[in-house]
Chain A
Amino acid sequence: MSFYQEIEKYRDFDFEKFFASVNAEKVQKIMQKDFLNREDFLVLLSSQAEDFLEPMAQKAHQITKQYFGKEIGLYTPMYLANHCVNQCRYCGFNAKNKIPRQKMTLEEVEKEAKFISEAGLKHILILTGDSRLESPVPYIIDCVRILKKYFSSIAIEIYALEQAEYRQMVEAGVDGLTIYQEVYDEKVYDYVHKAGPKKDYKFRLDAPKRAASVGMRFLNVGALLGLSDFRSEVFFCGLHAKYLQDQFPESEVGFSVPRMRPHEGEFQPKVIVKDKNVVQILLAMRLFLPKLGINVSTRESAEFRENILPLGITKMSAGSTTAVGGHTFENKETEQFEISDERSVAEIKQMLLEKGYQPVMKNWMRF
C-alpha cells in the first residue's frame, strides 16, 4: 500500500473546522496520555496548543532523554554535483538559475572526503542535483566506493530512484536515505515543481518505501516549511513517518524541519514559519512518535539550534557547506542555500559537551 492512500483519506477533511474545535481541555487531556493517535497529534499542532508549549517541552525532553539519552549524532553534508534538470521554484539549483554548475571528479571526492574525515566525522550525507545525465547512479556508486574508506555510514540525498537502483545503492554500502516530499499538498506541489522529473508527486512520495523494502536502514523524511500551511504539512509528514515505522520496523525513521532559507531565485517563502512554530512542530512530533530521530541542520542559526537541543533533537549537521567541493574547492560559488550556523565540527562538539550532550561521531558501521 502506498502512503498516497493514507493521504487520500484526508481529501475531504476540513482542517480549519477541526482546528476550530480544539480547546484547552482537549490539549490537557492529550498531555496525560502515554500514546497519541493521529487526532491527538493534530490537536498538538493547532494554534490553541501554543499555550501549552512549556508542558509539551517538559514531556518531550523527558521522552527524548529516555529513548536517546544525552547523545546527539553528528554528520555533515557533501555536495557531489549541482547539475539539475528540475525547475523547483524554491531551490537555488533550479535548472533555469544561471549559476556555475559543477561535478566533482573521483579524485576531488577523495580529497574532500579526506578533509572532512579529519575532523573526526564518520557519518556523511551525499547530495547531488537531479540530473540522471550528469550524476547517474553508477557515478554516485563510484563516489560511495571512495567514501567507504573514510566514513562508517553513508546516506544519500539525491533524486528519487527506482527500487532496483536503491538495491544497488544498499549493496554498494549506502545505509541512509534522506528524501523530503517538500510539500504534501498535491496542488502546491504541482505549482512549485514547475518542470522536471521531480514533478511526479507519487513517485517521490513512495521513494522511502522503495528504499526500505530493499533494506535501507535509515529513512529521513521532511516537509520544506514555508511552501504551504505548516500545520497540515507537518501532520502529513508525521503520518508519513509513522507509516514507514509501521511498514518497516527494521528501519529507523527520522524527520527534519527544514525552513526555507534565502536563495538564488525569485520564489520566496509563502508562509513565514516562526521560531515558536518550529518549536511546536518538534514537540508535537516527539510526543506523537517517541522513537523518531529528529534532525536539525545548519539552515538554522547557532543560537536557535542550541535552544532547541533539549526539545527532542537527536542529530545535527556540523561544519556544513552546501557548495560542491565546499571544503576543498577554491571556487565555492555553487551554494544551494545559505547556511546559518557556520561553526566548525570542533566548535559544535565543544558546544554540545558544554550543554551536557555527548557528540556522537560514530554510531554505525557496515557489517
Chain B
Amino acid sequence: MLPLRGISRDDIIIKNINMKNTLKIGGKELKSRFFMGTGKFANFEEMQKAIIASKADVVTVAVRRVDLDSKTDNILDFIPKDVVLMPNTSGARNADEAVRIAHLAKAAGCGNWIKIEVIPDNQYLLPDNLETLKAIEALVKEDFVVLPYMNPDLVMARRMVEAGAVAIMPLGAPIGSNRGIKTKEIVKIMVKELSVPVIVDAGIGKPSEAAECMEMGCGAVLADTAVATADDSVLMAEAFAEAIEAGRKAYLAGTGGVQESASASSPLTGFLRDS
C-alpha cells in the first residue's frame, strides 16, 4: 500500500474536483449543478423539503405564480433564502411579453436573474428561439442575468451568447414529457462549441438521464416534473442531486471511449504485418 503522507484519499478527490467543479454564472459561484423547478408539487411544504434535499443553489419560479399579497400562499416564502432565485417568464408568447414579465419579477424583488421562456405553442410547449433572442437582447441591456430556454440549435445558441446570455438552456425533450435527453447529438455539439455553460432544461425524467447529461459535459441540469410528480419527491430530489454529482465526476474523470462494435477478429489491415 502506498503511504499517503498525511493526506487522506478523500482530500485528494475533493481537491481535484473543486479545482474544476465550481460553476460560475452571472458572477455567482455555484456548488450544485442541479437547478430545481417549483411547479406541480402537492404543496409548498413538500416543495421546500425537496429543494433542501436537492441542495440546489438555483431555483426557478414562474412569475405568474407569485402572489405577493398572500400571507399563506406566496410561493416565495417557501424558497430557502440562500438559493439564487431564477424567475421565469412562463406565459410569455413573444419577446415583448417576456420582457414585461421580467420587469414584474424585478419589481417583485426577485433579483436580476431571469430564465426566458417564450412559448407560443401550448400543445407541445416548444419555445420560439427567435423571440427568445429578441428578449435576451432587450434584457441584457437592462443588466439582467439572462438564461434562455431554447430549442437546441447551435447557430441560434451562438447568437444568444453573442447577445449576452450567460448560459444556454436547451430542452432534452418537451417540457414535462419525462422522455430523457432526446436531443443528445445536438446538445453534445453545443457543449463542445459554446463558451458558456449548457444547462439541459426540460424532458429529463430519471436521475440516470440527468447523469448522462452531466457525463456529456453539460454545465448543469434543471428538473421539475420528474421530482415534483414522484411518489416521494424529497427522495427523488436527493436521487437527482447524487446522479448529477456522479455524472459530473465521471465527466471530470474522463469516461472511456465507447466501441460501437466488437473488434474484428480478422482485421482488414492484417496483411500489413507481413510486409
Q: Give A residues with C-beta under 8 Å from B.
A: 65-71, 120, 122, 152, 245, 249-253, 291, 353, 356-358, 360-365, 367
Contact = CB atoms under 8 A, between A and B. Distances in A.
12 contacts: A65-B229, A69-B41, A71-B40, A120-B73, A245-B122, A249-B120, A250-B122, A353-B42, A357-B42, A358-B44, A363-B64, A367-B101
Given A358-B41, A358-B44, A362-B64, 7 more contacts: A66-B176, A66-B229, A69-B228, A70-B229, A357-B42, A358-B43, A362-B70
Nearest to B89: A367
A363 B101 CA distance: 13
A242 to B, nearest CB: 10
Contacts of B39: 69, 71
A249 B64 contact: no
B226 to A, nearest CB: 10
B188 interface: no
Interface of B: 39-44, 62-67, 70, 72-73, 91-93, 97, 100-101, 104, 120-123, 176-178, 225, 228-229
Contacts of A252: 122
B89 to A, nearest CB: 9
A367 B97 contact: yes
A249 B123 contact: yes
Nearest to B45: A353
A245 B122 CA distance: 8
B62 to A, nearest CB: 8
Nearest to A215: B93
Contact of B122 (A66, A251, A358, A365): A251
B122 A70 contact: no
Nearest to A249: B121
A152 to B, nearest CB: 8
A291 B122 contact: yes
A123 to B, nearest CB: 11
Contacts of B64: 362-365
Given A120-B70, A367-B97, A367-B100, A362 B65 contact: yes
A71 B73 CA distance: 13
A358 B233 CA distance: 14
A66 B225 contact: yes
Nearest to A64: B229
B75 to A, nearest CB: 9
B42 A367 contact: no
A196 B73 CA distance: 44
A250 B120 contact: yes
A69 B225 contact: yes
A244 B43 CA distance: 32
A119 to B, nearest CB: 11
A71 B39 CA distance: 8
Contact of B42 (A120, A122, A251, A356): A356
Nearest to A360: B65
A362 B177 CA distance: 24
Contact of B73 (A245, A361, A367): A361
Contact of B228 (A70, A120, A357): A70
A251 B122 CA distance: 7
Query: Closest 3 A-B residue pairs measured CB to CB?
Result: A69-B40, A70-B42, A362-B67
Contact of B229 (A69, A120, A361, A365): A69
Contacts of A360: 65
A292 to B, nearest CB: 10
A291 B123 CA distance: 6
Contacts of B65: 360, 362-363
B214 to A, nearest CB: 24
A120 B104 CA distance: 21
Contacts of A152: 67
B70 A361 contact: yes
Contact of A122 (B40, B67, B120, B176): B67
A251 B93 CA distance: 10
A159 to B, nearest CB: 27
Contacts of B66: 362
A356 to B, nearest CB: 5
B40 A68 contact: yes
A157 to B, nearest CB: 21
A7 to B, nearest CB: 22
Nearest to B121: A249
Contacts of B120: 249-250
A250 B93 contact: yes
B93 A361 contact: no
A70 B73 CA distance: 16
A336 to B, nearest CB: 29
Contact of A245 (B91, B97, B123, B229): B123
B229 A367 contact: no
A55 B91 CA distance: 33
